[in-house]
Structure 1
């Protein structure tokens, strides 16, 4: 005879039903207690992570490019053709052509696909014209371009290397075109770009999606190239100074100091970071072996163009704290090309 009493079958059934009711009630309480919706057998609702620093700057730069494009179209459309200086018209046309390309360069792959799916790959040119805050005259357009240049400068200091390169290129182009427009319109409203000492982080970088830098080999290669070209530019401006007089001579001598100071700073970067140091040479070969009158006139622009490209490349490859020199140099060389 068993000493343990057996539970009748009908009571077992009642107990199981009670347990099921209790479980269902507990789930209902959890759902109404701020724990979010719970779908039995389904995935939890996806919450995207907060934007990283690259996305933060993209979200600020793209609307500014749209405003600049809208303002460019307004200035072009409202100007009297007979009263527009050819140099001003050419600068506006160059800006109008460049801005959509720059905007596309900032889009992520997903953003580009969204615009293609919407049959609006680069936003119709008429769309920016509807912006309420678009500049209405040339002075307003120049102010927008200065804001774009300065925001690009700040962004290039903090974003990932792959984004820093197109961003600083946008900043350099904007610095160049703003000076062209200012000179053509005989205005004096464009401030100087930031110096390397003034280019500091201005945004908090979220921990969720930190920016990245390029490979060390790319950094060392571009750093070596920039050293070489800065030393070379200093030497050639010294040669040009020996052939010039008065103010032109002083301008060349001033650039000698600029390029040699940059080369020395880049040399310090190389020493501290383990890259190859490029020493200054006493003599460098002249382009083509000699300088005729035509090459003498072209050489400053050729040097400025090459250095701008070198520093844009170095900005994209360098660690964050090494970028300010090259960002400032790229903008300065771009402005030198404006006259």
Structure 2
């Protein structure tokens, strides 16, 4: 099953509501990654504005480990009373088809609240790499099978799966080099230790603008509004290729519908607030919010989308 986009604009009248009724206590937003990363920074900006809307304190708690599984499990096991939420990326949709070492199933143990935003991958090569387009890179890889390296944040990461799928669809062989996070593989790219990476455009664009590496294309089906000068991978060498990164908010399973609806309305109010669109544009994000049921449908579709990539590529965590 291919990925299906579901984007619902919240009625302005619904978002122009007064502060949402106060919750039972402080709200924790668990980010399953280390502090200071892109996901953490986005979550903290939202949390700061969400507190006044909910009428309670909202804090961000980093619970990193096991590729995000530690923080996700903490939310899956939390009391479903609206005081604990998970701020995650598309990685949560990858877990069901790739991870056998976790005790929860995100489809069963989490309640989707709303999608927050999406951003493309930026397809980048090292400066010495003799390719100025995606098509030229594919031709170069075909001429040198296995001799080009691509860097990722680790086996099974969204960037790894996206690049592995790129290789399958293009009919090429490249060597995977996993690193412990984005900073090491971006450094490796700038020194030509690896020749190719896919990195969230929000963090990769400054490096590309500095001239230390070269951006070739973006990964989404349509050109990214923040970088209209860059073609998509689909239009510049591999027709039909499309993948992106998204952020979403989840609560524990069995959270009452009334609580989920209240959290959803509060977050959508925040995301529609003054300055949020400009803030998102500055990071290369596009704000995308949904009501709970459409987000659930989107999430389940994304699980199938990434499962298809796992099957095509044969990537395993073993």
TM bin, normalised by shorter chain, reads under 0.3
Q: Which has the higher helix share?
A: 1
| TM-score for the superposition, normalised by structure 2 | 0.27
Q: Which has the higher strand share?
A: 2
**Structure index of larger Rg:** 1
Q: Which has the higher contact order (CA 8 A, sep 6+)?
A: 2
